[in-house]
A and B are shown apart, each in its own frame.
Chain A
Amino acid sequence: MTQRIEHLLERVEKPARYTGSEMNTDVKPIGEAEISFAFCFPDTYEVAMSHLGMKILYSILNALPYAVCERVCMPWVDMLSGMKQEQIPLFSLESRTPLNRFDIVGFTLQYEMSYTNILEMLSLGGVPVKADERTDIDPIVVAGGPCASNPEPLHAFIDAFMMGDGEEVIVEVVDALNDCKKRGLPRAERLRRLAAIEGVYVPSLYQADYNVDGTLSHFSPVDSAAPATVKKRFIKNLDAAVYPTTIPVPYTQIVHDRIMLEIMRGCTRGCRFCQAGMLYRPVRERSLTRLTELAQKLVDSTGYEEISLSSLSSGDYSKLPELCEGLMERFADKRVSISLPSLRIDSVVKESLAQTQKVKKSSLTFAPEAGTQRLRDVINKGVTQQDLMDKLKDAFEGGWSSVKLYFMMGLPTETHEDLEGIAELARAAVAAYYAVPKGQRAKGLRVTCSAAVFVPKPFTPFQWCAQDSMEIVRQKQQELRRLLDIHGVTFHWHDPSISFLEACFASGDRRMADVLYRAWQLGCKLDGWNDQFRFDLWMQAFRDCNVDAHFYANRERGAEELLPWDFIDVGVTKRYLRLEYERALKAQTTRDCRLGCNGCGIERIKGLCSLCE
């Protein structure tokens, strides 16, 4: 097979995607491990290798003396068709082992539009695509990641989901399956063992029933091993949590080609549209000492020239200036630079910014998300017009000429005025630039406005909301195009059909699994790539399965409705989310919980949230 792979590689675009052998991927021989884990990222190599979670779990698993973890990515279309033609099964990057020869196949679920890739990868790897068609000799297929918070659209394909922070639960899953393997237990028994682990959901052990109107009527376990409520896992102390001190260093340029240092997890801001903000509560910081130690080890083991301080809201890290200064001083002789992603306009980042040389070259990003104060209050984006204008002024005076403004359209309660507000902000940005005297400002003003389509997500206060229909989205986009026809401003918008499908999957129930399967059969894959996305085939899949897409995307749900993900306890309670939704509709804001606990539900778990004690 190796020879056939080598020859095929000569014929595909970017063969280095498939050849592995990067620095720090020299794992133990697969034959010597008691149990093998294929870490599957359902997108191409460049996307996969940019993902921090994958690197963390890869290193945790390979640190276990009895386990080996190898990486598997989604091949690009040319490689896919070549592999099918040559009958080469999907193989791992490290040892080129076919997927079906691993004991455990694990997927990370980062976004809904990668779901068809999961089916494609299983099929290409010789693993039965449907969970109920797998036998004792097939791998156990597990999944985790943010999209596992509504696992139901994938219930037919994944044997077990892991909920929440993965560092600990993944080891428990591997240990349990290793034990089962030694004892030769049948598949059904293995799954029951997994279901008993806190944070694990085994969909085949649950039953869902529906009302005539299509809503969920009943959801409960049908096996004594399965808990009625699946509790998400939390890492209480990030300092004590395992963090890789060596990570793979790809040869080819990937999306985030640098050390990503997770400085904290969670966010206290409480933006109401943001799923990550609710899911990763409470906020947990790593200490300066621990971060310094990790940074040193990572620089030593990777040789990277840049460290990016990563988190949902890095500007909120309590000791940011100290951290930046300390790291820059420490690595000055090695010429390693420090950068901050996801800048928030309401963070105290100015000083730290001035120090980070890297940022200087690129454009600055601001995310007001909505065009008017009223709508920003609805979504609890604690940013005022004044804040934004001050920061823009700072940016232009500080020598930037290019800024990006991120907005969302179709937010709950949005009106015409809110769209006009977007244009007003853009115009104000242009004015702020010209307010800096010529000669003192950098040349070449560029204000880029992006408007994403709002997708209601489970476990957010907007989980009950309907998404705007595609027709309305298109009308609004037309209107924005007209409004943003301003000198110096460019407008980017998104394909509403992709957002529509995202909404279907985000809020989908078990019946979406049929649609997914059908769409994949019809040839849908790599849907996250515009040139591969086939909306027509997706619509045919909905028709073929007799499933109404609008039921999921465009329907406002009642307060009492049993939602497909209600059986998961993510920490934040449904009661709190509802309260937040009601406040949203009244345009009432909720304070940042660093200023005082808001009682989101996390406080029920003793010793978890450091802010609510």
Chain B
Amino acid sequence: MIVVFEKSMAVRHIGHLDLMRAVQRALRRSGLPICYSNGFNPHIQLSFASPLSVGVVGLRELMDVPVEGECDPAIFAQTLSRALPPALRVIGARAVADDYPTLMALVSGSVMRIEMDATPETAKIAAAFRLFMAGEECVTLRRTKSAEKQTNIRPFIQTGEVKETDAGVVLRCVVRNRQDGSLKPSVLMRALCEMAEVETVDFIAYREQILAMAKDGRAIPLEEYENG
């Protein structure tokens, strides 16, 4: 069963493993026909499409929960929703066949939004972002699983736009994952701070959508991906 859920503002600092445990406990509470792993220390089977960086709000996150037998997606969503704390909200569920690929393998990118208050510093960040989008290259320190090295992060951003209003500055971009992973909002923001020559700015980042690549090459919401 594929579940779309929101990791809201209040719980954006919960780490990946903690989130996993919270959902497992919710599944145990729910009484849904879940599957357990074998072994000395059995746990509930569950996998996420893509770990969300700590501190980022996830508006449409995805997880795959294997179930025993048939289960109506609407009822599944409703039952799980009741078992989860309000800060983790179920948006929908979808039953998929056994041969559906793992979510992790389908992820091709994401839509990211970064919000800041309107200050002289964030105005500079907005300007830096325009420059960033106009340019071809932006080299900054980025950590991958294996190493921390100077990387050109520009290719990660497929498209980007910036909105400046009295309320604040909003950056919105489509992030394209590359071989060695994705781009964290904090890394982009650090690069923009360097460009704008400001120390740091306060911001809140959202992952609006996880993307997959459809058979025809278009980027589509992961939850809409059809197998075959």
List chain A positions with a Cβ less than 8 A from chain B: 3, 6-7, 9-10, 15-16, 19-26, 249, 251-253, 299-305, 334-336, 357
**Docked pose: A334 CA to B8 CA in angstroms:** 28
**Given A251-B18, A303-B24, A303-B26, A335 contacting B42 (CB threshold 8 A):** yes
Write the nearest CB–CB distance from A38 to chain B, whole angstroms: 19
Write the nearest CB–CB distance from B72 to chain A, whole angstroms: 22
Across the interface, do B25 and A302 meet the contact criterion of CB distance under 8 Å?
Answer: yes
Write the nearest CB–CB distance from B156 to chain A, whole angstroms: 22
Across the interface, do B202 and A251 meet the contact criterion of CB distance under 8 Å?
Answer: no
**Given A10-B202, A301-B29, A335-B36, A23 contacting B22 (CB threshold 8 A):** yes
**Docked pose: A306 CA to B29 CA in angstroms:** 13
Across the interface, do A19 and B13 meet the contact criterion of CB distance under 8 Å?
Answer: yes
Write the nearest CB–CB distance from B46 to chain A, whole angstroms: 13
Write the nearest CB–CB distance from B12 to chain A, whole angstroms: 8
Across the interface, do B83 and A303 meet the contact criterion of CB distance under 8 Å?
Answer: yes
Q: Among residues 23 to 50 in chain B, which have CB atoms less than 8 Å away from a CB atom of chain A?
A: 24-30, 36, 40, 42-43
List chain B positions with a Cβ less than 8 A from chain A: 8-11, 13-15, 18-19, 21-22, 24-30, 36, 40, 42-43, 55, 83-87, 117, 202, 204
Taking a contact as CB atoms closer than 8 A, the residue among B15, B40, B86 that contacts A21 in the complex is B86
- Most B C-beta atoms less than 10 A away, residue of A16, A299, A302: A16
Contacts of A21 in B (CB 8 A): 8, 10-11, 85-87
Taking a contact as CB atoms closer than 8 A, the residue among B14, B30, B42 that contacts A252 in the complex is B14
**Docked pose: A6 CA to B10 CA in angstroms:** 9
Closest to B11 in A: A21
Taking a contact as CB atoms closer than 8 A, the residue among A20, A251, A300, A301 that contacts B22 in the complex is A251
Closest to B42 in A: A335
**Docked pose: A22 CA to B14 CA in angstroms:** 11
Closest to A360 in B: B40
Write the nearest CB–CB distance from B55 to chain A, whole angstroms: 6
- Most B C-beta atoms less than 10 A away, residue of A6, A253, A303: A303
Write the nearest CB–CB distance from A72 to chain B, whole angstroms: 17
Across the interface, do A303 and B13 meet the contact criterion of CB distance under 8 Å?
Answer: no
**Docked pose: A532 CA to B30 CA in angstroms:** 43
**Docked pose: A357 CA to B40 CA in angstroms:** 8
Taking a contact as CB atoms closer than 8 A, the residue among A19, A299, A357 that contacts B10 in the complex is A19
Across the interface, do B22 and A253 meet the contact criterion of CB distance under 8 Å?
Answer: no
Across the interface, do A23 and B25 meet the contact criterion of CB distance under 8 Å?
Answer: yes
Across the interface, do B11 and A303 meet the contact criterion of CB distance under 8 Å?
Answer: no
Contacts of B36 in A (CB 8 A): 335
**Docked pose: A19 CA to B14 CA in angstroms:** 9
Across the interface, do A16 and B40 meet the contact criterion of CB distance under 8 Å?
Answer: no
Contacts of B55 in A (CB 8 A): 10, 15
Closest to B203 in A: A10
Contacts of A334 in B (CB 8 A): 28
Across the interface, do A303 and B25 meet the contact criterion of CB distance under 8 Å?
Answer: yes
**Docked pose: A357 CA to B39 CA in angstroms:** 12
**Docked pose: A225 CA to B21 CA in angstroms:** 52
**Docked pose: A252 CA to B18 CA in angstroms:** 6
Contacts of B8 in A (CB 8 A): 21
23 contacts between A and B (CB under 8 A): A6-B9, A7-B202, A10-B55, A10-B202, A16-B14, A19-B13, A21-B8, A21-B85, A25-B85, A26-B85, A249-B25, A251-B18, A251-B19, A251-B21, A251-B22, A252-B15, A302-B25, A303-B27, A303-B28, A305-B28, A334-B28, A335-B43, A357-B40
Contacts of A336 in B (CB 8 A): 28
Write the nearest CB–CB distance from B76 to chain A, whole angstroms: 16
**A-B residue pairs, 5 tightest by C-beta:** A303-B25, A303-B29, A303-B28, A21-B87, A21-B10
Write the nearest CB–CB distance from B105 to chain A, whole angstroms: 27
Across the interface, do B27 and A251 meet the contact criterion of CB distance under 8 Å?
Answer: no
Across the interface, do B18 and A16 meet the contact criterion of CB distance under 8 Å?
Answer: yes
Contacts of B30 in A (CB 8 A): 303
Write the nearest CB–CB distance from B29 to chain A, whole angstroms: 4
Across the interface, do B13 and A23 meet the contact criterion of CB distance under 8 Å?
Answer: no
**Given A9-B13, A21-B11, A303-B24, A253 contacting B18 (CB threshold 8 A):** yes
Contacts of A300 in B (CB 8 A): 29
- Most A C-beta atoms less than 10 A away, residue of B19, B29, B42: B29
Contacts of B10 in A (CB 8 A): 19-21
Taking a contact as CB atoms closer than 8 A, the residue among A7, A251, A302 that contacts B29 in the complex is A302
Across the interface, do A26 and B86 meet the contact criterion of CB distance under 8 Å?
Answer: yes
**Docked pose: A16 CA to B16 CA in angstroms:** 12
Contacts of B21 in A (CB 8 A): 251
Closest to A20 in B: B10
Contacts of A6 in B (CB 8 A): 9, 204
**Docked pose: A16 CA to B12 CA in angstroms:** 8
Across the interface, do B202 and A23 meet the contact criterion of CB distance under 8 Å?
Answer: no
Write the nearest CB–CB distance from A88 to chain B, whole angstroms: 14
Across the interface, do B204 and A23 meet the contact criterion of CB distance under 8 Å?
Answer: no
**Docked pose: A336 CA to B27 CA in angstroms:** 13
